[in-house]
């Protein structure tokens, strides 16, 4: 173990001179990379983001000159602490992420270490191939990280662990030696050693380890599918071809830096079916694994009822849990084949085999529909995040989450493990790769008191002895790192521990590569992220954080580092990360910095932290993390809270006063819309610059009449139908009143009696994005007072703008948790679609001629509702949706208007939204219910988007309430008035100056 006490400033300076990529030794970068997905935290020396392997070579050379340790990092999702250290962190995920070659004939792919697994799998699938190991983090884990951990995943029963799928590697040692490693014949081995030099020396020492420890290796390494503990010394044995590449797989960055790997590809069954078996409990399910394996599945996972119960508590994929067959323990069995006929036969034979069981006969459900199968798989893939933070329960931690035994010993091992946990009063869920005998779990260890930490240590030591008695491995996938390395003597004995030490020394004699992990490890109970001495800063907050027991600190512990926010395909979460690939623009990166802010040891300015403000700057407050993050990290709320405190006593950026206070300005501007539009046009680029608005943006034009004015002048329609209140939000009222008119016409056509919300009420949606929480709270308090009679009467209040609806369903409850009026209003505030869905589906009503549409779903709507009601309404009136989820539009309220965010906003739109619009048929329309979404579409594509209410009106009445855009003559008159006024003002100034001049003379 190396303790570095060098000159970080000089090291940083030398690196900046030599490295083309990014060198970051600032407090923010060091704080952000201080932990992975484990219980451990070590603040690094600094961070290097290399452009290419020349940067890596230079970094290792300069670090060697300074005696600084090195830590290679990919996706940063390691669960055993191997991805945090006091070292120079090299993050290859941003730039060194290319597939260098993919040869479908040889079934080989050459990749850089930062390539994300799903990108490789997608490229291979074009040829009917795949990279077999696929851990639950497949959407963001990198091949370099998988090589470091010897990762496995669901389909390792089909393809083996990562080590079995690596043909060769090009590696770099800490002392600067580059070499290609792979299988080595005895003749080649002799030649390499005879050639001498550093390479010959390394191979000579490896041969010596093989010859002296070979018999002990054969005796001590458990013959199970999932031994990932220790170093892969058995790969040096003659029967394994002295495969140096595979011996380095699983060394967790402690021996070499991987520059490039040749990965083996295997056939990917094109036809797949999922069969779910339900049993009395998870132990019976485990007992049945050997019988199920006789059916030759390509994937076999197990889950228990505790996991499903916790997912229901969190409302995490509830529809997936509902699909499971009867039982309290389940096996997810996937079969694959080259044809649908072959698959059907295989599944039928397997089901018949299971139905013939007299003892432990399971309930069975078959999922041939790929969409339903993917949904059911979500119950397994989300297990880590789903079990970490459960409402009303203590936080659950890793630490004993990865042991593996022989599959035929799995049931008995799980029963004894549960008994041991009960002895300590621990609660956990059980799930994992049951086909390989690997079990994952998170346990509610107390890691914040001396007594709790002592119990934690005692438990894992006893658990290690338990798994060894069952002939198993301490780690079946996640590696040893710091979490299990100290326990390795229990499994391997002192002699083999010395062999591991010699293996590392052969490659890294000075101990510079990820020191203190696997070999000569830090103690299990040191470097804890929390620990008995942890004293977070005290916080008084505006929001209530009821889901976190009223504690902002508890909210900051939510992020467990699973990295779901680092995916670049699918979903909405972290659109800014998707285009920048910067850790600080991921939910995890931001959450890490907020945690470090309350920790205070690196970021010591509390709420005034510039590092946190900078990371939050590109957060779009899209709320996607609230639903897509497995642990429900709510970055939009945290951002509002932080900005509320950060700007206390400080001036905000110009955009905060112009766009953040738009509800106030809009009410004023809408009184004289022609004059306001003319003035903003005349102000031009100077006005935008003054307001902090991008020159690339057009300012939305005020409507000639607001919705409130139009409604007052309208003949009231007499109806005996149910009374509803249409919420006249700022954007509908002042800019798009035609949408409000369409909604009123539609509701009246369906028999409702419609009133508008009282004039002057506003939910204050833009206030939250800029931290104006004192204004926001006043607005909501006013709404509660003014609407109290309607709240008491349970009058439905109908929203058209999704961003406003989210205020009433989210922020309102978080700011007024104890006000019964808030709780009532949150339930009676409904969307237009929720109100009209049943009448549209149940009545024989006319619909439009079928029309194709690109539908841009508002981020807040997706984040706060998993319902299909919006699509149901569109389908019922003849709208055919051409696209799936295409993520965020990139506008996000004021975000896309701000000058320094314009490029990011456009890049987000160009990811999926704009390509979908461009590729759609010419006659297709665009549907976007959010004002900002419509502005993004209109300004960047030239299309005129529709609100759902406009399409419903057309279906019901055959017309659409059109916006009576300001006539040209009115605009000209307003322009003339402004010009004349400006001229008179100029004349007055000139005369005034002359008079003053005459007085002075």
Q: Is the pLDDT of residue 962 over 70?
A: no
Confidence of residue 131 (pLDDT cuts 50, 70, 90): very high
Confidence of residue 222 (pLDDT cuts 50, 70, 90): very high
- Summarised one tens digit per residue, pLDDT across range 707-749 is 999 988 887 676 778 999 999 999 999 999 999 999 999 999 9
Rounded to whole angstroms, the Cα distance separating 448 from 591 reads 20
188-224 as b/e, with b when 16 or more CB fall inside 10 Å?
ebeebbeeeeebeebbbbbbebbeebbeebeebbbeb
Tell me if 434 sits within 8 A of 255, measured CB to CB.
Answer: no
Give mean pLDDT, residues 223-228. 94
Length of the chain: 1001
- Summarised one tens digit per residue, pLDDT across range 531-543 is 999 999 988 999 9
Local structure of 872: helix, strand or coil? helix
Q: Quote the DSSP letter at residue 281.
A: S
Give mean pLDDT, residues 556-570. 91
Sequence-ordered strand ranges (E) for 282-424: 299-304, 329-337, 363-367
Output the pLDDT for position 972. 46
Cross-sheet strand order for the sheet of 431-432: 363-367, 271-279, 329-337, 299-304, 431-432
- What is the chain's percent helix, strand, coil content, to nearest 5? 50, 10, 40
- When the pLDDT of each residue in the chain is averaged and rounded to a whole number, the result is 92
Cross-sheet strand order for the sheet of 925-928: 879-881, 851-856, 925-928
Q: Is the pLDDT of residue 387 over 90?
A: no
Rounded to whole angstroms, the Cα distance separating 361 from 611 reads 58
Give the contacts of 447 (CB within 8 A, at least 6 positions apart): 39, 397, 453, 456, 528, 529, 530, 531
Confidence of residue 894 (pLDDT cuts 50, 70, 90): very high
Give mean pLDDT, residues 661-681. 90
Cross-sheet strand order for the sheet of 88-91: 22-24, 46-49, 88-91, 70-73
Give mean pLDDT, residues 82-94. 97
Q: Name the range with the highest mean pLDDT among 345-354, 375-384, 982-991.
A: 345-354
Local structure of 515: helix, strand or coil? coil
Output the pLDDT for position 992. 60
Pair of tokens at residue 891: 């506008």
Rounded to whole angstroms, the Cα distance separating 920 from 928 reads 15
Rounded to two decimals, what is the model's pTM? Answer: 0.92
Percent of the chain's residues with pLDDT above 70: 95
Tell me if 99 sits within 8 A of 119, measured CB to CB.
Answer: yes
Crossing angle for the helix pair 197-220 and 488-507, to the nearest 10 degrees: 170
Task: Find tokens 């730039």 and name the residue.
Answer: 95
- Summarised one tens digit per residue, pLDDT across range 915-946 is 999 999 999 999 999 999 999 999 999 999 99
Give the contacts of 543 (CB within 8 A, at least 6 positions apart): 637, 640, 641, 773, 811, 814, 815
Tell me if 577 sits within 8 A of 93, measured CB to CB.
Answer: no
Rounded to whole angstroms, the Cα distance separating 572 from 621 reads 11
């Amino acid at each position: 173990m190396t303790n570095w006490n060098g000159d970080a400033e000089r090291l940083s300076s030398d690196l900046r001179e030599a490295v083309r990529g990014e060198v970051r030794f600032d407090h923010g970068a060091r704080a952000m990379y201080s932990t992975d997905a484990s219980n451990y935290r070590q603040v690094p020396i600094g961070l290097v983001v290399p452009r290419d392997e020349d940067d890596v070579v230079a970094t290792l050379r300069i670090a060697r000159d300074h005696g600084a340790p090195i830590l290679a990092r990919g996706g940063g999702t390691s669960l055993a602490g191997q991805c945090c250290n006091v070292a120079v962190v090299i993050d290859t995920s941003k730039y060194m992420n290319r597939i260098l070659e993919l040869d479908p004939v040889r079934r080989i792919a050459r990749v850089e270490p930062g390539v994300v697994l799903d990108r490789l799998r997608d490229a291979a699938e074009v040829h009917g191939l795949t990279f077999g190991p696929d851990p639950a983090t497949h959407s963001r884990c990198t091949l370099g990280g998988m090589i470091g951990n010897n990762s496995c995943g669901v389909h390792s029963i089909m393809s083996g662990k990562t080590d079995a799928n690596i043909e060769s590697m090009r590696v770099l040692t800490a002392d600067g030696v580059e070499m290609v490693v792979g299988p080595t014949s005895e003749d080649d081995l002799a030649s390499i050693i005879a050639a001498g030099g550093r390479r010959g020396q390394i191979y000579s020492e490896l041969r010596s380890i093989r010859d002296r420890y070979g018999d002990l290796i054969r005796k001590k390494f458990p013959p199970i599918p999932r031994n990932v503990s220790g170093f892969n010394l058995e790969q040096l044995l003659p029967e394994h071809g002295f495969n140096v590449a595979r011996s380095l797989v699983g060394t967790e960055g402690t021996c070499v830096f991987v520059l490039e790997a040749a990965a083996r590809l295997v056939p990917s069954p094109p036809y797949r079916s999922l069969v779910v078996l339900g049993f009395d409990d998870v132990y019976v399910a485990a007992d049945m694994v050997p019988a199920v394996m006789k059916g030759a599945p390509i994937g076999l996972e197990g889950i228990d009822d505790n996991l499903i119960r916790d997912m229901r508590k969190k409302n995490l994929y509830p529809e997936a849990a509902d699909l499971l067959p009867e039982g309290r323990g389940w096996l997810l069995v996937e079969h694959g084949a080259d044809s649908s006929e072959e698959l059907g036969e295989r599944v039928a034979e397997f089901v018949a085999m299971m139905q013939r069981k007299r003892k432990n006969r399971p309930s069975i459900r078959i999922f041939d529909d790929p969409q339903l199968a993917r949904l059911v798989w979500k119950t397994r893939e989300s297990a880590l995040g789903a079990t970490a933070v459960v409402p009303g329960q203590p936080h659950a931690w890793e630490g004993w989450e990865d042991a593996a035994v022989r599959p035929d010993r799995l049931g008995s091992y799980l029963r004894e493990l549960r008994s041991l946990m009960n002895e300590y009063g621990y609660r956990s869920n059980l799930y994992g790769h049951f086909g390989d005998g690997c079990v994952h779990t998170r346990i509610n260890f107390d890691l914040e008191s001396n007594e709790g930490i002592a119990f934690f240590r005692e438990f894992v030591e006893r658990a290690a002895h338990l798994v060894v008695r069952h002939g198993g491995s301490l780690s079946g996938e996640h590696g040893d790192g710091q979490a299990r390395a100290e326990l390795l003597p229990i499994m391997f004995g002192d002699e083999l521990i010395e062999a591991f030490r010699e293996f590392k020394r052969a490659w890294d004699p000075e101990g510079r590569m990820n020191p203190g992990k696997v070999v000569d490890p830090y103690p299990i109970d040191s470097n804890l992220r929390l620990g008995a001495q942890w004293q977070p800063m005290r916080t008084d907050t505006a929001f209530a954080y009821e889901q976190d027991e009223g504690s902002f600190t508890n909210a900051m512990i939510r992020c467990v580092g699973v990295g779901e926010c680092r995916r670049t395909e699918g979903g909405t979460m972290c659109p800014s990360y998707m285009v920048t690939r910067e850790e600080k623009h991921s939910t995890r990166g931001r959450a890490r910095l907020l945690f470090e802010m309350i920790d205070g040891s690196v970021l010591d300015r509390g709420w005034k932290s510039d590092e946190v403000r900078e990371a939050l700057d590109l957060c779009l407050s899209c709320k996607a993390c609230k639903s897509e993050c497995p642990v429900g990290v709510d970055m939009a709320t945290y951002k509002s809270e932080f900005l509320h405190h950060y700007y206390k006593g400080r001036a905000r950026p110009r955009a905060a006063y112009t766009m953040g206070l738009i509800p106030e300005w809009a009410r004023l501007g809408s009184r004289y819309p022609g004059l306001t539009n003319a003035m903003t046009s005349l102000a031009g680029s100077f006005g935008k610059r003054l307001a902090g608005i991008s020159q690339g943006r057009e300012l939305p034009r005020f409507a000639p009449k607001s919705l409130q004015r139009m409604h007052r002048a309208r003949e009231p329609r007499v109806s005996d139908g149910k009374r509803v209140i249409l919420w006249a939000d700022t954007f509908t009222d002042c800019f798009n009143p035609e949408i409000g008119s369409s909604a009123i016409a539609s509701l009246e056509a369906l028999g409702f009696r419609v009133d508008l919300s009282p004039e002057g009420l506003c939910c204050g949606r833009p206030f939250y994005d800029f931290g104006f929480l004192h204004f926001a709270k006043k607005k909501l308090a006013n709404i509660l007072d003014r609407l109290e009679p309607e709240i008491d009467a349970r009058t439905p209040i109908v929203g058209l703008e999704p961003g406003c609806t989210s205020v009433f369903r989210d922020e309102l409850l978080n700011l007024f948790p104890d006000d019964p009026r808030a709780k009532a209003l949150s339930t009676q505030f409904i969307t237009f679609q929720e109100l009209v869905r049943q009448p549209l589906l149940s009545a024989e009503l006319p619909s439009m001629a079928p029309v194709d549409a690109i539908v841009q779903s508002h981020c807040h709507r997706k984040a706060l509702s998993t319902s299909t009601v919006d699509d149901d309404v569109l389908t019922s009136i003849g709208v055919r949706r051409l696209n799936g989820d295409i993520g965020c539009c990139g506008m996000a309220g004021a975000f896309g208007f701000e000058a320094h965010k314009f490029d990011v906003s456009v890049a987000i739109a160009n990811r999926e939204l704009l390509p979908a619009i461009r590729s759609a048929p010419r006659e297709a329309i665009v549907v976007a219910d959010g004002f900002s979404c419509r502005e993004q579409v209109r300004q960047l594509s030239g299309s005129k988007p529709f609100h759902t209410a406009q399409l419903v009106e057309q279906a019901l009445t055959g017309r659409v309430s059109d916006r009576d855009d300001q006539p040209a003559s009115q605009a000209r008159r307003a322009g003339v008035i402004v010009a004349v006024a400006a001229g008179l003002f100029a004349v007055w100034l000139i005369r005034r100056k002359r008079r003053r001049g005459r007085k002075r003379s």
